[in-house]
Structure 1
Amino acid sequence: MGQSLCVRRVLVVDDNADAAELVGEVMSMQGHLVAVANCGKEALATATEFLPDVVFLDIGMPGMDGYEVATQMRRNPLLNAARIVALTAWGDLASRARVAACGFDAHLVKPANLDSLLNEAASSRA
């Protein structure tokens, strides 16, 4: 794996710390700047400070789930340009519809393949 042509600011949010760290490490190995959060409130605080280009966001988190995090991110003018990608075990039609309704830009089902993760990290918000 070579260096990315464009360095992105990537926020990885997952209540499974090992999963979040793994995705973060993959992004770091590609030359991206990475921040990791393990809950919704931490994700919102980190996003406001870090101003990510891309957010990989788990949906099934205790407390504040990924749907609520994405909805709040979309209400924050500082985060308008961030591409929000659901990275979740939930791939059913209802989850996909709710992901779209909450302002996510893409939906990846765990375990996502490496090419999909890298493509999403390289993409900009349409």
Structure 2
Amino acid sequence: MKSGIWTDRKASLNRPLRVLVVDDYAVGAEAVALALTIAGHEARFAFDADSAFQCIASWTPDIAVLDINMPSPDGFQLAAILRAADGTGETVLIAFTSLDEEAVQPPGLAAGFDAFCRKGAGTGPLLDIIARLALS
């Protein structure tokens, strides 16, 4: 499976949706954010947790797309921090990784992720899952 929704959480009614992409692979983070912007979302990117927190301090995302395999904190740890924080407790969290969904889902749910999308198939599957997670 390339993408799956694990919870009932939905993104807010903000249009365009605010989407934060966090990935330590800079080229990938920028490319995904650009594709999201072209698709009509307000997208920003960060290369690590510190830059994500700096971004969130002045701009609250409706959706956060988090890579799993990042230097500490990794995506699971970052998801747990975002889920517990005041401003991002209801943000939809998507695990965006090259790992298999079966390996990511148990720790992902425990960390607070709402959905999974596998990297490697372009941005189409990610755009699709974001559309499915958005309140209409």
Relative to the length of structure 2, the TM-score reads 0.80
Q: What amino acid is aligned across from residue 47 of structure 2 in structure 1?
A: N
Could you tell me how far apart the structure 2 residues matched to 1:31 and 1:95 are? 29
Could you tell me how far apart the structure 1 residues matched to 2:73 and 2:121 are? 23
Partner of 2:34: 25
Q: Does 1:68 align with 2:67?
A: no
CA gap 1:73/1:112 in 2 versus in 1, 3 angstroms = farther
Q: 1:124 aligns with which of 108, 119, 134?
A: 134
Relative to the length of structure 1, the TM-score reads 0.86
Higher relative contact order (CA 8 A, sep 6+): 2
Partner of 2:91: 82
CA gap 1:44/1:112 in 2 versus in 1, 3 angstroms = farther
Q: Does 1:43 align with 2:52?
A: yes
Q: What amino acid is aligned across from residue 70 of structure 1 in structure 2?
A: A
CA RMSD of aligned residues (A): 1.9
Q: Does the 8 Å CA contact 2:101/2:116 hold for their aligned counterparts?
A: no
CA gap 1:104/1:92 in 2 versus in 1, 3 angstroms = closer
Q: 1:12 aligns with which of 7, 21, 24?
A: 21
State the Cα distance separating 1:50 from its structure 2 match: 1.4
Q: What amino acid is aligned across from residue 104 of structure 2 in structure 1?
A: S
Q: Structure 1: 5+ residue runs without aligned partners?
A: 1-5
Aligned residues: 121
State the Cα distance separating 1:36 from its structure 2 match: 0.6
Greater Cα shift, 36-45 or 92-101: 92-101
Greater Cα shift, 89-98 or 47-56: 89-98
